[in-house]
Amino acid sequence: MRGAAHAGRAFLAGLLLTLATPAGAQQRLDDADALRTSQAAIGRVLGGYALTDSSGAPLTLEQLRGRPVVLSFIYTSCYYVCPSLTLRLRGTVKVARDALGDQAFSVVTVGFDTPRDTPDRMATYARERGVGGPGWYLASADAANMARLTRDAGFTFVPSPKGFDHVTQTSILDASGTIVLQIYGEDFAPPSVVEPLKKLVWGRKVGRPSLSSLVDRVKLVCTIYDPASGRYRFDYSLIVEIVAGALALGIAAAGILAAMRNVR
């Protein structure tokens, strides 16, 4: 019943917005401009925004430094595209965590409709779609902070009678908070997110690795996506190639040494 009442309020708000806008002056999302704006954000460092998570606690992107971040924008009164994006992301995050580990990256879902997307609403949105938990944050902000975040992230949205027209965008941030990739649509394949996350994990500067971390590195390098199962699996062919290459080098070295002995 509350969902129906909210839907009615959202529809009424959109209708009033349309009626209040002079004929011919209604904002429209220009796909080409939105794409250019989104792509121009690649290379920017995101930070300095005061967010609030779904529990009401303060949240900043700086808190998540040190690991990659998957950032998506939704509005909670959306009935199709945003829920579809979140559900797709839920499945993709599971695949990525199976392949890379539970602590390898963070996820931030931001509600950009500031009057409505309160922490309580974001918590309800998360429960209804089975997302959240450790490493996945549902975030809100006031209008000023949201305006800066969406601008810096290259995320474009405009009010419409149905709610909002917006670019369906998932941003991949590296460990320093820099946008390195934008992914579009709500029906992306898991590798489009998991593969860049793998590259970011490989590129992280670390100290001298321990034996256990080397084992983990090998497992990470050798995971490949199997579309039949929808999971990442271990690629033994790479290990075979490494071993075969090492044996070939060993045989060649032995041959060279034997030849040197014969010359003497």
Residues 95 and 186 in one domain: yes
Residues 160 and 215 in one domain: no
Residue 168: give the domain boundaries: 2-205
pTM here? Answer: 0.72
Nearest to 71 by CA among 164, 148, 177, 151: 177
Q: Looking at residue 149, which CATH number applies to its domain?
A: 3.40.30.10
- pLDDT, tens only, 58-98: 999 999 999 999 999 999 999 889 999 999 999 999 999 99
- Sequence-ordered alpha helix ranges (H) in 101-190: 119-129, 143-153
Among 48-52, 74-78, 208-212, 239-243, the range scoring the smallest mean pLDDT is: 208-212
pLDDT at 141: 98
Gap between the terminal Cα atoms of the chain:
94
Residues 134 and 64 in one domain: yes
Residues 241 and 120 in one domain: no
| Alpha carbons 12 and 130: distance in angstroms, whole number | 29
Kind plus residue range of the DSSP H or E element containing 165:
strand 163-166
pLDDT at 47: 96
- pLDDT, tens only, 185-237: 988 899 989 989 988 988 753 233 343 443 443 444 444 455 556 655 544 44
Percent of residues, the chain, with pLDDT higher than 90: 56
pLDDT band at residue 160 under the 50/70/90 scheme: confident
The residue from 182, 205, 228 where one domain ends is 205
Nearest to 195 by CA among 167, 218, 172, 176: 172
Domain count, the chain: 2
- pLDDT, tens only, 136-159: 999 999 999 999 999 999 999 999
Residues 101 and 113 in one domain: yes
Residues 157 and 193 in one domain: yes
Residues 181 and 232 in one domain: no
The residue from 205, 228, 249 where one domain ends is 205
